[in-house]
Amino acid sequence: MPLRLEATRDGFSQSFEAFLSERREAAVDVRDDVARIVARVKDEGDAALIELTAKYDRLDLTADSLRVSAAEISAARESCSAEAIAALETARTRIIAYHERQKPEGFDYVDDTGVRLGSVWHAVSAAGLYVPGGTAAYPSSVLMNAVPARVAGVERLVMVVPSPDGVLNPLVLAAADIAGVDEVYRVGGAQAVAALAHGTETIAPVDKIVGPGNAYVAEAKRQVFGVVGIDMIAGPSEILVVSEAGADPEWIAADLLSQAEHDRVAQSILITDDAGFADAVTAAVARQLPELPRHEIARESWEKYGTLIVVADMESALPLIDRIAPEHLELVTPGAEALADTHPQCRCHVPGALCT
């Protein structure tokens, strides 16, 4: 069952600290294994990449079959439903509109001494996009990494995606096509990150690597940082929804489960000022769980790591938000803008529901 904490009860501080200190990912040290993989790909190129793909993804490749062909991508797109393609195209349009507004502007001025100073922004030449392809497929990750790069002006987009037993998700390939990815390679893991960073005979190196992955991918990104830029070293996914009782519990439950279905160690947290609303959201989660395609994973995540925190009022949620520092934050309350002004980390253009 998910954890439930009442901020007004004795012992809350100790319980909250215990909640914060809980580890959700096995403390497995993969540094040495990843270092060996990175070194092999750097030294041996395609040969190491092919051998490691056979070992970890059970897929026999040659240098000629590392890259997913244009015909395969076209066929994958054709196999997707019209509704799915329309959804991806709509998402692409919306992502473009958002990130066009995010582009930084340079400046140029002459100071009091007559010296001219300025700043000019240029996109990197090539970006590598890591897309998970093991336990689940995420076409959204393709769009959210590739489209902003295109908006920024990156000329070459290279995507790597593992294909265990040779299986590639058609929607992932369709998303790559819609986003304008230039090259797609059927490799994953630390070896794919190493290939993007150092290059091989087939894969030319990139300037920056972005995208989520498992512990091996995260460690590989850490080890190649400096050779290339990276976005971040991410841990297990998490979401924190801060909501008053006036919200629809079905919607809040869906948002919580949107992260729970990512991974068995993902975490979904609700903070509310109404105990009855916490009960209603819990009931809504129970109703929705069986309907999810990845219900077993979502259920394990929710039951092991799901958390409900009942506070006295919305203001008292602010220090808890800071302590949790979640990956995804939603404020769902009629006073969201005022709450965001109090808590400057929260910014969004959606009235009544602020997200970071």
Cα 216 to chain centroid, rounded: 16
How far CA 203 is from CA of 37, 140, 237, 240, in Å, comes to 16, 24, 30, 39
- DSSP secondary structure of 51-74: HHHHHHH-----GGGSBPPHHHHH
- Is 328 annotated in the active site? yes
Which residues are bridge partners to 146 per DSSP?
A: none
The C-alpha angle 299, 302, 306, rounded to 5 degrees, equals: 175
**d(Cα 88, Cα 154) in Å, to the nearest integer?**
21
**d(Cα 29, Cα 266) in Å, to the nearest integer?**
20
Give the number of other Cβ atoms within 10 Å of residue 291's Cβ: 8
Choice among 6, 72, 300, 327 that is catalytic: 327
N-to-C CA span, the chain? 27
Cβ–Cβ < 8 Å for 43, 198? no
How far CA 213 is from CA of 8, 53, 66, 79, 156, in Å, comes to 38, 16, 20, 26, 21
> What are phi and psi for residue 271, nearest 5 degrees?
-115, 125
Cβ–Cβ < 8 Å for 216, 30? yes
CA nearest neighbour of 89 among 153, 143, 141: 143
- DSSP secondary structure of 70-120: HHHHHHHHHHS-HHHHHHHHHHHHHHHHHHHTT----EEEE-TTS-EEEE-
Choice among 6, 328, 337, 349 that is catalytic: 328
Amino acid 60 reads D
Residues with active-site annotation: 327-328
